[in-house]
Amino acid sequence: MSKLFRAVILGPPGSGKGTISERVASIFGLQHLSSGDFLRQNITANTEAGILAKAYIEKGALVPDHVMTRLMLPRLEEMTRHSWLLDGFPRTLAQAEALNSACDLDVVISLNIPLETLKERLRHRWIHPASGRVYNMCFNPPRVQGVDDITGEPLIQHEDDKPEALVARLRHYKDVAKPVIDLYRAKGILHMFSDTETDRIWPYVSSLLSAKIPTDHADAQRATTH
């Protein structure tokens, strides 16, 4: 079997991590694991971690490192036989160090998007809570306004995408992300992409991954995930 491939995607809220991760998952066959989606599943299921995390998320604050690592590392353990792309974790240096001691990463993708663009996108972000499907009323609107394309169920906005929580979230992101980015740059695995449009970033991400992931391996992964 080819070597497994491990990637992380970093970027502020609204930078397009989820959008790019979905494309990577479907084209390269990596398992997409989003910390935000996983937290929301835990909140819905009323798990211990979900109950602890809920209050932080509603305030637009980060969930404490020990709660995140206790949640995410066992989840990664379950995926030891898969190639994966982690979205939203690690977000702090302590989380990055915990991840480091659990596995070796091949690639870190970092999205660098102007602040005004982020604010504009998140104002228009709508979610289908049960599946995590993400829409944008300008970029990828649902076929019928306000409802999910697949299930026809209503769309909602995250509490933490509303303007009051948003500004705090974006400011805080910058402070905590810098040491994480510096760590991966020092390891020589950081690839930074700067633009205002996902569709202009995507060709570069795609060619980076095409060069790093052997084709037969991507085919084999797809066969096991579909």
Ligand X SMILES: Nc1nc2c(ncn2[C@@H]2O[C@H](COP(=O)(O)OP(=O)(O)O)[C@@H](O)[C@H]2O)c(=O)[nH]1
Binding site listing for a ribonucleoside 5'-triphosphate: 14-19, 125, 134-135, 198
Residues 109 and 191 sit within 8 Å (Cβ to Cβ): yes
- CA-nearest of 110, 112, 95 to 189 is 110
- CA-nearest of 143, 87, 105 to 7 is 105
Rounded CA-CA distance 75/78 in Å is 5
Q: Tokens 């602040």 sit at which residue?
A: 115
Rounded CA-CA distance 156/40 in Å is 13
Is residue 139 involved in binding ligand X (CB under 6 A)?
Answer: yes
Is residue 19 involved in binding ligand X (CB under 6 A)?
Answer: yes
SS3 call for 178: helix
Residues 221 and 7 sit within 8 Å (Cβ to Cβ): no
Site for ligand ADP in 160-179 (CB under 6 A): 160, 169
Q: Nearer to ligand ADP by C-beta: 35 or 83?
A: 35
Q: Residue from 6, 16, 98, 184 that binds ligand X (CB under 6 A)? A: 16
SS3 call for 203: helix
For the bound state, the minimum distance from the C-beta of residue 217 to ligand ADP, rounded and expressed in Å, comes to 27
Q: Nearer to ligand X by C-beta: 18 or 60?
A: 18
Is residue 109 involved in binding ligand ADP (CB under 6 A)?
Answer: no
Is residue 91 involved in binding ligand ADP (CB under 6 A)?
Answer: yes
Instruction: Give the annotated binding-site residues for AMP.
Output: 35, 40, 61-63, 88-91, 95, 169
Q: Residue numbers of the site for ligand ADP (CB under 6 A)?
A: 13-14, 18, 35-36, 39, 56-57, 61-63, 68, 88-89, 91, 95, 160, 169
